[in-house]
Structure 1
């Protein structure tokens, strides 16, 4: 058994909003998009509400952690942009288009009933979520480091 204390410096601290299952709340709208063919549009809108609540909660958390007023504004903008792109906009669009394409292609098979096509589309959407998370996160990281962070966080830029 080690007697060393774990390193609790900020760089090794767990971010509840990004390093725990709480991060999955940001993907609520992908679940909504997956079920779009089966549920009322208000259920899909509610899923976007959950995802944006997560985005705003993470933005609030990052903003409160900054002491310097200028850095507070930069942290808020950085988090809001990153989370909106990586958790809501890009994954929501991706799942929406994947499900629309799936439903379209399945409609070519006249042997499948409409309920079967809709449930298959939903399953495809749900099954694809785990595969799009990391590539989208990395893509948004690259985008942010090439644009916003290059100007406002020169120490983190490429």
Structure 2
């Protein structure tokens, strides 16, 4: 699905970016793909999983920012920037935008299959789920890059990042 970020030799892998845990951020896209087949409460539960992932990553990045700057005068600002940037980026790139996108892809495919095929409804629902699941790998990179652009053009201008490594705050 997503390209795994590269970390430097000897660096500890990021639990939320470099391991299987990263895929928890895509739980809601899977839920949206299955929306036609499963109860809505299960779809919403997948959003809970993805939101827990986003929150855990933001907390982790805040903790790491706090450890990096233990006594500095900008410690609180560094922690706040790390938490807010990670949370907003992940909420948009892992939950809100891809969830909406997959929802609309599935809704459109179910509608179109109903108009152009004579397949029975259960077959159309399964086909819609397959369309949704197969779309996930194709939407991730464009959404990630779009959210990078959006945040670089807006929120990230609000905090001073010229002294920071831009890859530190930016989720992979």
Structure 2 unaligned runs (5+)? 1-7, 67-74, 167-172
Task: Give the equivalent residue in structure 1 for 2:116.
Answer: 109
Q: Report the Cα offset of residue 7 of structure 1.
A: 4.2
RMSD: 1.7
Q: Report the Cα offset of residue 110 of structure 1.
A: 4.9
- The yes-or-no answer on 1:30 pairing with 2:37 is no
Alignment partner of 2:16: what SS? coil
Residues 63-112 of structure 1: CA distance to partner in whole angstroms, max 9, x if unpaired? Answer: 11122111111111111100000000000000000000000000113520
Distance 1:89 1:142 in 2: 16
- Give the TM-score normalised by the residue count of structure 2: 0.81
Structure 1 unaligned runs (5+)? 1-5
Task: Give the equivalent residue in structure 1 for 2:91.
Answer: 84
Q: Report the Cα offset of residue 18 of structure 1.
A: 1.9
Q: Relative contact order, CA 8 A, sep 6+: which one is greater?
A: 2
Report the count of equivalent residues: 149
Residues 101-133 of structure 1: CA distance to partner in whole angstroms, max 9, x if unpaired? Answer: 000000113520000100000000000101111
- Give the TM-score normalised by the residue count of structure 1: 0.88
Distance 2:37 2:49 in 1: 19
Task: Give the equivalent residue in structure 1 for 2:72.
Answer: none
